[in-house]
């Protein structure tokens, strides 16, 4: 690990529901160091690069301070940073591009909290903590919803009365930072222009698919929250609202929310396993069905998105499952075989960037996730062209 030049580095913070991720990027986009504090509220661990050790984080503030302490011990103190950039899950309908945070934008961020009560409060807490520790440090908010602001109204509107839509009840879409990074990276990987109709699959703990036409999102599987859409590690994905209403009436709102977000998906179907690698290695009927369910709904939703962009020229996989689970990629591409998609088994097994055979009618690619690098680039673009930005 190398220490960045004083004043040129950008600190990226991703505060999740049970973890705080951080990375430091230099002026040229090079990642200098990556950290993870996870297991907030219980026994956790602190990972600094490839080093890791057990740790106890009672609160998000404690986790953030542990991350900053670890950074400082390696020469990356806040006064070496040009700015801090935060992944903010929800920007609502108004915040559709990255912003420098001031009192006005901080208030706007706060107004988005009801839209993402499980995520945005942690993002805001990290912003406020850094404001207290380094008041002169510019901070930038980069939104996971922003990439999908180009979806047409017919794609984002639920069929509910105007008075309900006016309360912000609509589809927003998520994983937008990942998709924006993918759109930027794919031409560098292929050496060609971005495919006009691109089906992008972010498959990880959370999973979604995005229809990207001419570089712009036109439809995506996640909706009002990151719960909608595909089968995920612990989230149910799509479920009839009437079923949710019944569960809420019988079991209570909090218990229903906990079940849908943390006890469902692969975990619920398999009887407790959330890791795709473990499921693929498990020959039990429950594990096989969980994998079948994941792949079936990925292909089924893909068909809908292909219709939304009136065809498909290429498929790109990203995220932990998308990049590493060759059997999942093979099954999804096989499910799109009616389109003429054909995968190269050897290339897929090796995890090569180019996955398709020469005669495939649809290009198939792996694009490594680069959300944090994208966040740093967004922040850099908002800062003055010269000087420290402080």
Instruction: Name 233's Cβ contacts closer than 8 Å, sequence gap at least 6.
Output: 204, 205, 206, 207, 265, 266, 267, 274, 275, 276
C-alpha to C-alpha distance for 84 and 131, rounded to whole angstroms: 10
Contact 271, 286 (CB under 8 A): yes
Contact 27, 14 (CB under 8 A): no
Q: Give SS3 for 155.
A: helix
Q: Which two tokens stand for residue 348?
A: 């897929």
Q: Which two tokens stand for residue 360?
A: 């495939």
C-alpha to C-alpha distance for 314 and 193, rounded to whole angstroms: 12
Q: Give SS3 for 131.
A: helix
Rg (CA), the chain: 21
**DSSP code of residue 356:** B
Among candidates 367, 361, 387, 276, which has minimal Cα distance to 327?
276
Among candidates 60, 37, 58, which has minimal Cα distance to 48?
37
Catalytic entry in 61, 144, 292, 313 = 144
C-alpha to C-alpha distance for 214 and 310, rounded to whole angstroms: 12
Return the biggest CA–CA distance within the chain.
Answer: 60
Strand arrangement of the beta sheet that strand 51-57 belongs to: 51-57, 42-48, 31-38, 19-25, 9-15, 81-88, 139-143, 99-100
- 184, burial (CB in 10 Å: exposed 0-12, middle 13-18, buried 19+): middle
Assess whether 8 carries a catalytic annotation: no
- Which residues are tagged catalytic? 144
């Amino acid at each position: 690990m190398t220490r960045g030049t004083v004043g040129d580095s950008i600190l990226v913070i991703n505060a999740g529901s049970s973890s705080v991720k951080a990375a430091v990027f230099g002026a040229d986009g090079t990642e200098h160091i990556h950290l993870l504090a996870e297991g907030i509220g219980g026994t956790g661990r602190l990972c600094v690069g490839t080093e890791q050790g057990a740790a106890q984080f009672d609160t998000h503030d404690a986790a953030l301070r542990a991350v900053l302490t670890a950074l400082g011990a390696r020469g990356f103190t806040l006064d070496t940073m040009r700015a801090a950039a935060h992944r903010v899950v929800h920007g609502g309908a108004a915040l559709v591009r990255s912003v420098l945070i001031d009192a006005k934008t901080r208030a706007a961020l706060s107004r988005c909290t009801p839209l993402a009560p499980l995520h945005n409060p942690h993002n805001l807490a990290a912003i406020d903590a850094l404001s207290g520790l380094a008041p002169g440090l510019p901070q930038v908010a980069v939104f996971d919803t922003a990439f999908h602001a180009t979806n047409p109204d017919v794609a984002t509107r639920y069929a509910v009365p105007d008075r309900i839509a006016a309360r912000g009840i609509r589809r927003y879409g998520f994983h937008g930072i990942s998709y924006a990074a993918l759109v930027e990276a794919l031409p560098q990987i292929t050496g060609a222009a971005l495919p006009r109709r691109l089906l992008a699959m972010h498959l990880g703990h959370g999973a979604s698919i995005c229809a990207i036409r001419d570089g712009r999102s036109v439809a995506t599987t996640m909706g009002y929250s990151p719960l909608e859409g595909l089968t995920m590690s612990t989230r149910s994905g799509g479920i009839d609202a009437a079923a949710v209403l019944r569960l809420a009436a019988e079991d209570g709102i909090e218990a229903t929310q906990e079940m849908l977000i943390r006890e469902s998906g692969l975990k619920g179907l398999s009887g407790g396993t959330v890791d795709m690698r473990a499921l693929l290695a498990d020959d039990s009927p429950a594990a096989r069905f969980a994998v079948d369910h994941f792949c079936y709904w990925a292909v089924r939703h893909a068909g809908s998105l292909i219709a939304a962009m009136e065809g498909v020229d290429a498929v790109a996989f990203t995220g932990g499952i998308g990049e590493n689970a060759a059997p999942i990629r093979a099954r999804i591409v096989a499910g799109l075989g009616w389109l003429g998609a054909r995968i190269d088994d050897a290339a897929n097994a090796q995890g090569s960037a180019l996955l398709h055979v020469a005669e495939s009618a649809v290009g198939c690619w792996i694009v490594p996730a680069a959300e944090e690098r994208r966040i740093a680039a967004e922040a850099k673009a908002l800062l003055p062209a010269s000087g420290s930005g402080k």
